[in-house]
C-alpha cells in the first residue's frame, strides 16, 4: 500500500515545551489508522503538527509533497482534512451555512469530488432536518456530526478525526462509525485519534500507540490485543 501520509522524526513544541520527540508514522491511501494513547501522550499535538498549528521539525510528506512551510489552509487544499476535538463549529451560523463554508472550491486536484452537501444530508439526516438552526443550539452529538460533515464536503483524501466519540451517546457513536465506514468505501484515508478505542477494533486497519511523544507500538488491532504489556503500560487498560 502506497504511503499517502509519511511522517519521520517529527518533533513539535508549544512555546518552549517539547511534546513530540521524533514520531514516525505512515498512513496508506484508503487506510484507517487509529492513534491511541493516554492523555498527554501527544496524540492531539500530532494532529495539530500535521496541520501546521504548532511549531514543528522533521519530515511531513503528504501525497508525495512536503508540508514544510505551508500554512493550514494550504495543507487543507492539498486534501488533508481535520476535525478537532473541540468540534469548532460556527455557533452563530446555520447548519447549512456551516456546511457551505466547508465546500472546496479549488484544490488543484484533478479527480472528481467524492463528497458534496447531499452526501452530508444522507449520512446525517438530522442535519437536514435542522439545516436552518444555528449550530450553537445543537446538542454535542449533533455538533460532532456537523463538524464531520463539514470536513467531508471539503473532499479530503485523508481525514484526521480527534476523539470523535467523546461525550456521545451510544446511538451517536454508531452513526459516527457508519460515517467512517463510508469514508473508507470511497477511498478516503482516516487517522482516527481515540483514547478508549471505541471504534478502532471494528474499523481500523492498524493501531499506533503513542507514549511520551513517540510511537511505541504499530500493528493490527489483533496484534495490539495480544500485547498485554503495551495495553497495560501505555493505554492503562487491564
Structure pTM? Answer: 0.90
Tell me which residue range forms the domain holding 185: 3-235
What is the CATH number for 207? 3.40.50.300
Contact 189, 31 (CB under 8 A): yes
pLDDT in tens, 135-193: 999 988 889 889 999 988 888 999 999 998 887 888 888 888 888 888 888 889 999 99
Residue 87 has pLDDT above 80, yes or no: no
CA 175 to chain centre: 16
Contact 113, 84 (CB under 8 A): no
pLDDT in the model for residue 144: 87
User: Which pLDDT band, with edges at 50, 70 and 90, does 237 fall under?
Assistant: low
Q: What is the pLDDT of residues 152-164, one digit of tens each?
A: 888 899 999 999 8
| Structural domain count of the chain | 1
Distances (CA, A) of 85 to 41, 105, 140, 157, 164: 15, 25, 11, 20, 7
Q: In the 8-state DSSP scheme, what is residue 198?
A: S
Q: CA quadruple 140, 119, 88, 55: dihedral positive or negative?
A: positive
Report the distance separating Cα 191 and Cα 154, nearest Å.
16
Q: Cα separations (Å) of 185 from 87, 150, 203, 204, 219? A: 24, 18, 12, 13, 22
Average pLDDT, whole number, for the chain?
90
Amino acid at each position: 500500500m502506497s504511503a499517502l501520509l509519511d511522517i519521520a522524526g517529527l518533533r513539535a513544541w508549544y512555546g518552549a515545551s517539547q511534546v513530540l520527540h521524533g514520531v514516525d508514522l505512515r498512513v496508506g491511501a484508503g487506510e484507517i489508522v487509529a492513534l491511541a494513547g493516554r492523555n498527554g501522550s501527544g496524540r492531539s499535538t500530532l494532529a495539530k503538527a500535521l496541520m501546521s498549528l504548532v511549531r514543528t521539525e522533521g519530515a511531513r510528506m503528504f501525497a508525495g509533497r512536503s508540508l514544510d512551510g505551508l500554512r493550514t489552509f494550504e495543507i487543507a487544499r492539498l486534501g488533508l482534512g481535520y476535525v478537532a476535538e473541540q468540534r469548532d463549529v460556527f455557533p452563530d451560523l446555520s447548519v447549512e451555512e456551516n456546511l457551505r463554508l466547508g465546500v472546496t472550491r479549488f484544490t488543484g486536484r484533478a479527480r472528481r469530488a467524492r463528497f458534496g452537501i447531499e452526501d452530508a444530508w444522507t449520512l446525517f439526516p438530522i442535519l437536514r432536518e435542522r439545516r436552518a438552526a444555528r449550530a450553537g443550539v445543537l446538542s454535542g452529538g449533533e455538533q460532532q456530526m456537523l463538524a464531520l460533515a463539514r470536513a467531508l464536503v471539503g473532499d479530503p483524501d485523508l481525514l484526521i478525526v480527534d476523539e470523535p466519540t467523546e461525550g456521545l451517546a451510544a446511538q451517536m457513536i454508531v452513526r459516527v462509525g457508519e460515517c467512517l465506514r463510508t469514508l473508507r468505501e470511497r477511498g478516503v484515508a482516516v487517522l482516527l485519534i481515540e483514547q478508549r478505542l471505541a471504534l478502532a477494533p471494528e474499523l481500523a486497519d492498524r493501531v499506533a500507540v503513542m507514549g511520551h511523544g513517540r510511537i511505541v507500538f504499530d500493528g493490527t488491532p489483533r496484534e495490539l490485543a495480544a500485547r498485554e504489556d503495551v495495553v497495560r503500560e501505555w493505554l492503562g487498560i487491564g
